[in-house]
Amino acid sequence: MGAGMRQVNRKLQDSVFTNLFKEPENRLRLYQALHPEDTAAGVEDIQDVTLQAVIMNGIYNDLGFTVGDRLMILIEAQSTWSTNIAIRSLIYLGETYKAYLARTGQNYYTGRRVHLPEPELYVVYTGDAAHEEESIELGEAHWGGENRYLRLSVKVLYGGGNDILSQYTEFCRIFKEMRRSCVSIEAAVHETIRECIARGILVDFLTQKEAEIMDTMTFLYDPDVIQKLHENELREEGREEERANTKKERARADALESENKRLQAELELLKAKMAETMAE
């Protein structure tokens, strides 16, 4: 992959999930799947607030949008079950709120109360392992029970209907089947697209963006890419450890320098006292 992940086109780093919901009409359909009771919302009410700088495992698979100034909806798509989704959602929510306040010109260091859209946090789970959890609770996941100072809940979405979100989860399920039966990733993607269109799943999206989806999924499941992602993660972990060690060494050096200065001062004081004694 050349010079590595940093030079890979963002379009290829996007997952099918983010590609699908980049389209304003599809974001509206997603919102309607989550809130079928709201029949008044239109495309103009949905604003994309996805953080462009956030990357999970080398692949962009998250989505954020506001509905007017009422709701802020953050969704992450995952094929691997992890209770760490709760802490990721907490961090992502904080960063998204920070960007929102900057964009709307609100100062949260003054006494005036700022306006924040009400948050809704979701994870779309498309993995093989069976799970029945309706939500992932931050307190349960990380402290063994509810924390009275910090409560955060991420609702788990599994699909199962006929809305656009369910069609996406069905697309993922069909792709897994094709991966097991096809001889190559390219063939699996091609057969997935063909099968989904035949079943009426994401027809417009798959028809209009077939070439892009082929490129994206071939990239995402390329063994060389997966290896590079793993290597990058290990490299970043190494850098973090190196930075931590450097910080510890710097703190230790500062402490030694302070101790040397203290001892030097005591020595000078002792010399002065000895000089006074000898003078007497």
Does residue 164 have a pLDDT over 50? Answer: yes
Q: Of 134, 158, 182, which closes a domain?
A: 158
Residues 17 and 141 in one domain: yes
Decide if 241 is inside a domain.
Answer: yes
Residues 142 and 253 in one domain: no
* pTM for this entry: 0.74
Q: Indicate the pLDDT class of residue 9, thresholds 50, 70 and 90.
A: very low
Cα–Cα distance, 188 to 168 (Å, whole number): 16
Count of domains observed in the chain: 2
Q: Read off the pLDDT of each residue in 27-34 and give the average, rounded to a whole number.
A: 96
Residues 149 and 233 in one domain: no
SS3 83: coil
Cα–Cα distance, 166 to 124 (Å, whole number): 10
Decide if 200 is inside a domain.
Answer: no
Q: Which of 43, 58, 62 is nearest to 221 (CA)?
A: 58
Cα–Cα distance, 23 to 30 (Å, whole number): 11
Decide if 170 is inside a domain.
Answer: no
Decide if 220 is inside a domain.
Answer: no
Quote the domain boundaries for residue 95: 5-158
Residues 154 and 236 in one domain: no
Decide if 148 is inside a domain.
Answer: yes
Q: Which of 58, 50, 75 is nearest to 13 (CA)?
A: 58
Q: Of 128, 158, 188, which closes a domain?
A: 158
Better-scored residue on pLDDT, 129 or 41: 41
